[in-house]
Amino acid sequence: MMVSSQASTPHAVVVSSNGEGHINFAVRLSGSLTALGFHVSFIYFSSYYAKLRNMMRLVLPAAVETANVGDEDSIEQATAPGILRVRILEDGYEPGDVDNFFLVTPTMKENLLRFVTEDREEGISAPTCIVSDTLSPWTLEVAQRVGIPRVEFWASNAISYLVFSNLDYLYSKGIFPEKGSPTRWKSEAPLILNHIQGLPEFPSELLPQEVRFGEPSDPFVQVFLNVESCAKYAERIFINSLTELEPTAFNALKLLAIPAYGVGPLPNPVNKLSHGESECLSWLDSQSDNSVVYVAFGSFATLSTEEMHELAFGLDASECPFLWVIREDICKREEVSQVLPKGFLERIDGKGLLVSWAPQVQVLAHRSVGGFLSHCGWNSIIESLAGGVPLLSCPRMAEQRLNCHWVCQQWGVGVEMMRTDTGGLERNFVEIGIKALLHGTQGSQARSKAQEIMSLIAQSHSREGGTSVANLEQFYDDMRVVCSKTSKSVL
């Protein structure tokens, strides 16, 4: 009996963890898989879906962007050549739980298992694999119960994945937890880590304090130790980077028998811009080439009122035009003046533009943007490099200090902003950093390096020899084989 082409089309169930950077990468990955020919079911859990929708920051694959998503529990869009569906599953959260990044409930596991085992639709094969965020290791249990492969995706770079893959080793050797507690942003005599094969030595203070000083039994550390233990069961691991940018780290992962593949940065489908976003790009159109500093701190990082003031004073003193994203969860648009220095909005009229949201990929591709003052989240870094824009690095949390080190010290595509002894912002440091980035020798060199990497990124997604494209195409071919075998066994 012949197997229909639809029955042999692989079906990927994509599960992200919470966090807009994670969702954004998962959405892009879903679009890329659909373009290859996969049928994709993109899973949102109800509480985080509702939170993003209420904040008007809901991200959907481009193919379903215009669908009515009000109270629907499913959204579907036929694309070419695959079909992409969004499914919203109940998570069983209590009020307030949505802000607990790592919380997993029995309801989430039960509903994902039910979806994978019972969801059947004409023209779409049964799920072939679960494509899961690395930070959702609980999906391994579901995949194993169903008997399908679990593929991981890591929304950051290969360097950070390699570091977190060595945590168990660092704890077992007594290197972590460190004694004492951090007292300064930069120590005079930091602990130097030279224990990770494939990475040059670096100070431990570049890693999160929760990892450096936490016991293995601490919940935060447990998450990453669990992630590390699940990696050996992954069919493969997609990393939001390119092999050419991090060859040593990818080779080191290979030596650890971790099947890691660079697939980034994934294309960002351009959807219709809102009025505010169009206004933002129109303002950039009125500025000179490479003259604007773009300022954004991602979806999680926060600044104190004092730091907001120092940043504002520094931007003003730099005398450079700037586009500054101040998220609405930090302050409502009508309350912006309350978290900024008195008279600041009047002083910057015409020189600066404040927005609550910006189309970051389009901003970083704009001719007038000469630098990016960033928190060094990986999505922001890779988007900046894809636009050939150097960074003024101001890391805040998680692996961002590690990212900053590679951006400034290893790749030379950024300038590290000076900080106070406690890691705070100071207006003079902001001013000096912006001027160095936009007008200094170090900034000029960083711009040249960033444009070299921009070419690498473009090449990685070329149909002719692009490694990121080739890695995704190989995945499609492999899953077609799995799907075909499954279909034949059912028949």
Full-model pTM: 0.90
Q: Is the CB of residue 273 less than 8 Å from the CB of residue 350?
A: no
Contacts of 5 (CB under 8 A, 6+ apart): none
- In whole angstroms, what is the distance from residue 434 CA to residue 438 CA? 6
Q: Is the CB of residue 482 less than 8 Å from the CB of residue 128?
A: yes
For the beta carbon of residue 462, count every other beta carbon within 10 angstroms.
12
- The CATH architecture of the domain made up of 275-456 is 3-Layer(aba) Sandwich (3.40)
Residue 254 to residues 70, 165, 387, Cα–Cα distance (Å): 44, 12, 29
Which fold is adopted by the domain 11-155+462-490? Rossmann fold (3.40.50)
Report CA dihedral (197, 203, 207, 213) to the nearest 10 degrees: 110
- In whole angstroms, what is the distance from residue 235 CA to residue 130 CA? 10
Q: Is the CB of residue 63 less than 8 Å from the CB of residue 31?
A: yes
Q: Is the CB of residue 482 less than 8 Å from the CB of residue 129?
A: yes
Reduced to 3 states (helix: H, G, I; strand: E, B; else coil), residue 15 is: strand
Sign of CA dihedral 198, 200, 206, 211: positive
Every domain of the chain with CATH number 3.40.50.2000 lies at: 275-456
Q: Show pLDDT as tens, one digit a residue, over the chain (491 residues).
A: 334 455 679 999 999 999 888 999 999 999 999 999 999 999 999 999 998 888 777 887 765 543 334 445 556 555 557 889 999 999 999 988 988 888 999 999 999 999 999 877 766 889 999 999 999 999 999 999 999 999 999 999 999 999 999 999 999 999 999 987 777 888 888 899 998 988 899 999 999 999 999 999 998 899 999 999 998 899 999 999 999 999 999 999 999 899 999 999 998 765 555 555 678 999 999 999 999 999 999 887 889 999 999 999 999 999 999 999 998 776 555 577 788 999 999 999 889 999 988 999 999 999 999 999 999 999 999 999 999 999 999 999 889 999 999 999 999 999 999 999 999 999 999 999 999 999 999 999 999 999 999 999 999 887 777 899 999 999 999 999 988 776 555 44
- What ranges make up the beta strands (E) of 321-426? 322-325, 352-355, 369-374, 391-393, 414-416
- In whole angstroms, what is the distance from residue 13 CA to residue 151 CA? 10
Reduced to 3 states (helix: H, G, I; strand: E, B; else coil), residue 334 is: helix
